[in-house]
Structure 1
């Protein structure tokens, strides 16, 4: 697949690094407009621009650089193209690309992108590399509201997602491997979370049962807003599935962010 360069004036633009991530929302845009953001900036492409967005490690050869310090990431790792009124991701690299959760797009495969915010991860052996993708939704349906384009609210102002300071700290401890974008992350054990909390709050008494109670309370509260947070919804063996699903939901809905790692110090 070759890089396409044809474009209509004003239909392709550069997103500077300073514009921030895509999770918080989008500027006004034509429905179907593609936004792609790497750690050093990104691209905005209208649906009728006739332009493919290429991303990968080698900055001179791609539109969006991602994994620039990881030689396992291909120089040109993927291409996002417009096909039959849909944006489609093509993995042309060797490492898999992970959608939120556990769905993988392997090298040589393709996947349609949803009209939504999609954090994608190039799964390297030492870490995962984040590529943010968002597609502008169409106008609200008659009598309804398009939740992708409404004004973004601070998660702490929205129920049932509001997290107390203690809940955020415990969940950050639990999810730190995910926040550090380690490959195939797993939640910490309750004992490890309790040890972290004891270090961070030495004046309090923490053990595995107290850590589990805090997380369970959040999980049950959010079980009305998302699936996969109740034991009866998960086929055995249960393992870490409940905590994994909780962490993934919090990350995808930007209720936990990499900036929360600062709460752990060091």
Structure 2
């Protein structure tokens, strides 16, 4: 296998991307639809579609086309491969560590390759000392042009969900740990949520069943409106906190709930009654 001037393996038909190439998230352009771009910190590769064409990436610069995590021994010498077949690009893992894709999907070595959508896909490999090695991938679509900059356009607001005052209060208590940016937050239990609500509203007759009813109604409403992973059928057993975790994350990502909502609670954040 011959190498290019930067020491990476040559790829017939491919074009090198320098380490100073801008992020692929800004878009790319190519004359042929289905062209793949792969970029790591030190450079990358562009390659047009064609049955059996491959882009190898990993730590061993002379043996791969895109060098990823060159100074990190936790990254495999040949971590993964982008392969074109059936008119589509696929990602496969050959390394010891999983490759993380969008929405936390992990691809392990030995698993079936996953298809790559057109557009931008970030791939992550966890390294040593809490490092995350990023491989940016971009597959051009039928039009093959980069997205047009739109600096003067009005910023589109996120889709927020309508909550009643009661629902918002219950969800702020249930998801208080998320709003406080704890590292690995979990929803409070029905019982703990009811106990905190009873202290906030002593005359409201809060109990675990009432809390569950309020939260379940919100989950059902959002699920019917297209939000995934809010029903037992989608998750499967055991459910545990998963449904409420997904609900709270959707409410935060959509900015339906935001940290200033903690002002609804009259117990201070450092009060030991919240432990």
TM-score by length of 2: 0.55
Specify whether residues 239 and 127 from structure 1 end up closer, same or farther in structure 2 by C-alpha distance, changes over 3 A only.
farther
The answer for the alignment partner of 1:168 in structure 2 is none
1:138 aligns with 2:142: yes
Larger radius of gyration: 2
Q: Find the residue that maps to 2:25 and give its secondary structure.
A: coil
The answer for the alignment partner of 1:183 in structure 2 is none
**Aligned-pair CA distance for 1:139:** 3.1
The answer for the alignment partner of 1:68 in structure 2 is 70
Q: Is the 8 A contact 1:7 1:50 kept in 2?
A: no
**Deviation readout 1:107-131 (Å, 9 max, x if unpaired):** 1221111112111111346333211
Map 1:31-180 onto structure 2 (within 5 A).
31-48=33-50, 51-109=53-111, 110-124=113-127, 126-139=130-143, 149-154=146-151, 157-161=154-158
1:7 aligns with 2:9: no
Specify whether residues 52 and 112 from structure 1 end up closer, same or farther in structure 2 by C-alpha distance, changes over 3 A only.
same
Instruction: Give 5+ residue unaligned stretches, structure 1.
Output: 141-147, 163-186, 195-222, 251-266
Specify whether residues 190 and 50 from structure 1 end up closer, same or farther in structure 2 by C-alpha distance, changes over 3 A only.
closer
Specify whether residues 119 and 247 from structure 1 end up closer, same or farther in structure 2 by C-alpha distance, changes over 3 A only.
farther
**Aligned-pair CA distance for 1:150:** 3.6
Q: Is the 8 A contact 1:228 1:245 kept in 2?
A: no
**Aligned-pair CA distance for 1:84:** 1.6
Instruction: Give 5+ residue unaligned stretches, structure 2.
Output: 1-8, 160-174, 183-222, 256-275
**Deviation readout 1:13-34 (Å, 9 max, x if unpaired):** 1111222111111124310000
Using the alignment, how far apart are the partners of 1:67 and 1:5 within structure 2?
A: 19
Q: Find the residue that maps to 2:103 and give its secondary structure.
A: coil
Q: Find the residue that maps to 2:138 and give its secondary structure.
A: strand
TM-score by length of 1: 0.56
Using the alignment, how far apart are the partners of 2:253 and 2:54 within structure 1?
A: 29
Specify whether residues 21 and 150 from structure 1 end up closer, same or farther in structure 2 by C-alpha distance, changes over 3 A only.
closer
**How many residue pairs align between the two structures?**
189
